[in-house]
Amino acid sequence: MSRKPIANARGPASGSTTSAALPGLSSDDMCPVCKTIRYLNKDMEFLIHPDCYHFMCSNCVNRIFNDGPNQCPYAGCHRTLRRKGFRTPFFGDLTVEREVDIRRRVAAVFNQHEEDFRTLRDYNNYLGMVEDLTFELVSGTDAQRSSAEAQLQQWEAEHKADIERNRKAGREADEASRRRIAAERDAARQRRIDAIKEAEEEKLERARTREAELDTLASAPEGQRPGGGVQLKRRVQVNRAVEAAAAATTNAAGVPGGGVAGAQPPMITKLSIQGLKEKRKPPAPEGPYDPFGGMDFVPSRYKLHDGLVHPDVDKYRFDLAHATGGYSFDDYRARAMFEAFAGLGVFIEDEKEVGSGLSASEVAAMSAGIAAVGDKMELD
């Protein structure tokens, strides 16, 4: 427990349920009802009731309220309390305890997000209104407090659905982030385990290979030894590579699955907050990037048949310079065929008469530029 009860902390005259200031709670204090001191009862525990924030020891609570609702034993406090409402205060200063309680309650009712508002200014106005209300509830006069209370209740009644929805959204977001973090942690652990396992396997494999090599060397006849060893090693390497690839795919399948499961709920929450968020969402990605801008490379006028030969091309087939890597006769054929049929249906006379390209005025301007202002053009 990090909290530190403050011995004689007295909150400002808060004008709360009791007109007097709330008494401070302290560990070495005595119970104001039964006057027991901690020296006599080591396990003494002070409890408060959120109606009036008067503290008393748990024994007193049991004694007074066991038989049903009863009046607060403090002098001048006429609240009727139930045992069920008593709890251990979190803060030593009961004024703080009370303010936190009130703030929690207000926040549960006014639980709008910034995204719900059209402008930042609207949101800030809303926050100011909420803060005013809270302040009145915490440290206003009686009249202010009652009116603020009435406002709060009215708001709560009117906007029940909204509040409920927001609350649910908040819960879901919390839940989602928790799940995501858990999934990430799981994945990391899984990866670690896999890595350890792989390392172990590799070590084992190495030992086994070594043994196998020694065996072959021992058993094989003279001529075959080195070759056999090499072959074996290679096979082992291939095996290991295959295994690694398989493991990688399963990993990949596992981790993104978790990621997706974790990532999906935020999408839902985004949708359920309100319609505003959807508009701001960036456009969905249109699949992988296409460097050719959607150009189609399947020929539509001709087919690349097998029997395409040309004596000028075939004579290079056995030429060493062309037989080296990188030169493809098929590519040449494809290119020649493409050039033979590309642009057959392009009728420049029709298309360039009004179409795009270099317009006459543009050309005139350009040649004027070159002819007249050419002196200024950048050199080299």
Whether the CB-CB separation of 152 and 137 falls below 8 Å is answered with yes
Q: Which residue is associated with the tokens 């290079």?
A: 316
Residue 140 CB neighbour total at 10 angstroms = 19
Closest separation in Å from C-beta 331 to another protein: 12
d(CA 117, CA 341): 60
**318-332 burial by CB neighbour count: b if 16+ within 10 A, else e?**
eeeeeeeeeeebeee
Strands 70-71 and 46-47: unpaired
| Residue 308 in the binding site for another protein (CB under 8 A) | yes
d(CA 84, CA 362): 89
Q: Rule CB under 8 A: choose which of 305, 320, 324, 325 binds another protein.
A: 305
| Residue 321 in the binding site for another protein (CB under 8 A) | no
Nearest to another protein of 282, 374 (CB atom): 374
d(CA 311, CA 313): 5
Q: Rule CB under 8 A: choose which of 76, 311, 325, 326 binds another protein.
A: 311
Instruction: Report residue 358 as tokens.
Output: 């270099």
| Residue 67 in the binding site for another protein (CB under 8 A) | no
Site string for another protein, 336-355 (x = CB under 8 A): xxxxxxxxxxxxxxx-xx--
| Residue 290 in the binding site for another protein (CB under 8 A) | no
Q: Is the dihedral of CA 64, 68, 70, 72 positive or negative?
A: positive
Q: Rule CB under 8 A: choose which of 302, 315, 323, 328 binds another protein.
A: 302
Q: Rule CB under 8 A: choose which of 4, 104, 118, 376 binds another protein.
A: 376
Site string for another protein, 7-46 (x = CB under 8 A): ----------------------------------------
Nearest to another protein of 257, 369 (CB atom): 369
Residues near another protein (CB under 8 A) are 295-302, 305, 307-313, 333, 335-350, 352-353, 356-358, 360, 363-364, 366-368, 370-377, 379-380
